[in-house]
Amino acid sequence: MSAPATHATNASVPASPAVRSGSQRAATGKELLIELWVSLISAAVAVVSIAVSSLNAARTVRLQHGLETQRYEKDREDSAEEIVSRYREPLLRSAFELQSRLYNIVALDFFDRHHQSDDLTEWQYARDSTLFRLGQYFGWAEILRQGIQYIDLGSTERTRELTARLDTVSHVFANTDWHPRTSILRLFRDEQRAIGECLVERGIEDPRGQRCLGYVQFMERLENDPSFGRWFARLSQEIDSLQGSAPQRLGRLIGIQHELIAVIEFLDPDSTRFPAAHRGRIPPQAAPFQ
């Protein structure tokens, strides 16, 4: 009797619970590892993005600051140049008229000639118009000084140079080392400013602007306003005493005239307003320094 046949089967044998648990843990571990890497990469990308954004923001801030600085510098230069341009013409003319009078006094005996006139009003005009030309120059110089005193002139080269030239004129007026105290037209800096302030008034057409008194207004105030006239009293007496004066009393005038010519050359370098032939400097020997 033969043994019963054994029937083969292809059915899978179910995995044991222990095997299934290990496989699940392995899969879970891989998923966690992937998630960890994804998180790390995301964090790195975020850090890089923040860094790039910060760099861009800093670059933008620097760029904006640079542009604002450039605008400030340009506005400052434009403001200084606008002020100088507005007053260049009257300052130039007042400097020319004053130097011309000084030239006539020293080199052409202006006061002596008018002193010899039989017409008293001629001498009075010679004296009073000289006082006016002094005041007019100081007035326009004061207007310019007030206009640019709040502007930093560090990078506005032309404005700074003009200020230096005007300062040199002021120094010659005030200096007592180069010229004896007996020389006429010695005016200390505050006196120069005071005379300038006396002649400055607000513009009628443009309240923001300023201008100097005209000759008629100057004479009215000189004759009728003691507080105005006091600033010109000593100068008037000095002019009255000039006839036949010793040459050394005129020494200061030569220095002033030379420095005024330097201002004119700076403001009108091409001789557009005033020909070079009318800008002669007084020869030093005309009134030797002593």
Please give the pLDDT value at position 288.
42
Are the CB atoms for 279 and 265 separated by under 8 Å? yes
Instruction: Pick the range with the lowest mean pLDDT from 118-127, 177-186, 227-236.
Output: 177-186
Q: Which segments of 108-200 does DSSP mark as H helices, in order?
A: 110-115, 120-148, 157-174, 189-199
Look at 163 and 69; give whichever has higher pLDDT.
163
Task: Please tell me the distance from the alpha carbon of residue 188 to that of residue 194, in angstroms, as a whole number.
Answer: 10
* Domain extents in the chain: 87-286
Please give the pLDDT value at position 98.
98
Mean pLDDT calculated for residue range 48-75: 71
Task: Please tell me the distance from the alpha carbon of residue 40 to that of residue 43, in angstroms, as a whole number.
Answer: 5
Give the position of tokens 């044998």. Answer: 13
Check whether 290 has a pLDDT greater than 60.
no
Check whether 154 has a pLDDT greater than 50.
no
Task: Please tell me the distance from the alpha carbon of residue 194 to that of residue 176, in angstroms, as a whole number.
Answer: 19
Task: Please tell me the distance from the alpha carbon of residue 204 to that of residue 198, in angstroms, as a whole number.
Answer: 17
Q: Show Cβ contacts of residue 88 under 8 Å, excluding neighbours closer than 6 positions.
A: 267
**Identity of the amino acid at 283:** P
Instruction: Pick the range with the lowest mean pLDDT from 17-26, 53-62, 165-174, 276-285.
Output: 17-26
pLDDT tens digit sequence for 38-54: 888 888 888 888 888 88
Q: How confident is the model at residue 218 (pLDDT cuts 50, 70, 90)?
A: very high
